[in-house]
Amino acid sequence: VEQTFIMIKPDGVARGLIAEIIKRFEQRGYKLVGLKMLVPSESLLSAHYGDLKDKPFYPGLVKHISSGPVVAMVWEGKAVVSQGRQMLGETDPLKSKPGSIRGDFSIDLGRNIIHGSDSIESAEQEIALWFTKDEIV
């Protein structure tokens, strides 16, 4: 079965959107198989966002995501990687359609609420990075 890694970022947690986001994935028919709250270390984030290391926004991105608790999740079900990205919206909330999570709850690229794996391959890598095998039920 397909799985994806979804993380509610510190701004999403601070905004009180945990229940709303979990509800959307559950109502769609996806199954929550991994869940934890943590303040991510900079070394975890440098592995997670390794492909963005040369971007000018990278230092600010790592500073923000390590600034407070995130909710890390693994969701399972049919086409959950691509459908999860659809449910999130575009990277820039201003380009995200109403009805998507970013389109409904954000107007700020650097505070776009949530992360979702962008391919099956990155989902596998991210799940292995954030969760041990016995944390997936």
Residues marked active site are found at 115
Per-residue contact flags (x/-) with ligand ATP for residues 57 to 96, judged by CB under 6 A: x---x-----------------------------x-----
Query: Could you tell me if 126 and 118 are in contact, meaning their C-beta atoms sit under 8 angstroms apart?
Result: no
CB of 57 to ligand ATP, least distance (A): 4
Residue with nearest beta carbon to ligand ATP: 91
* Residues within window 6-45 making contact with ligand ATP, judged by CB under 6 A: none
- The stretch near ligand ATP (CB under 6 A) out of 16-24, 69-77, 105-113, 125-133 is 105-113
Phi and psi, residue 90, nearest 5°: -80, 160
Question: What angle (nearest 5°) sits at the alpha carbon of residue 51, between those of residues 45 and 56?
Answer: 85
Lateral strand order in the sheet of 31-38? 31-38, 70-76, 3-8, 114-116
- The stretch near ligand ATP (CB under 6 A) out of 21-29, 39-47, 111-119, 123-131 is 111-119
Bridge partner list, 6: 73, 116
Q: Which string of DSSP letters, residue by residue, matches 68-82?
A: S-EEEEEEESTTHHH
User: According to CB under 6 A, which one of 115, 123, 126, 127 is a site residue for ligand ATP?
Assistant: 115
Look-up: residue for tokens 């820039």? 92
For binding to ligand ATP (CB under 6 A), which residues are involved? 52, 57, 61, 91, 109-110, 112, 115-116, 118
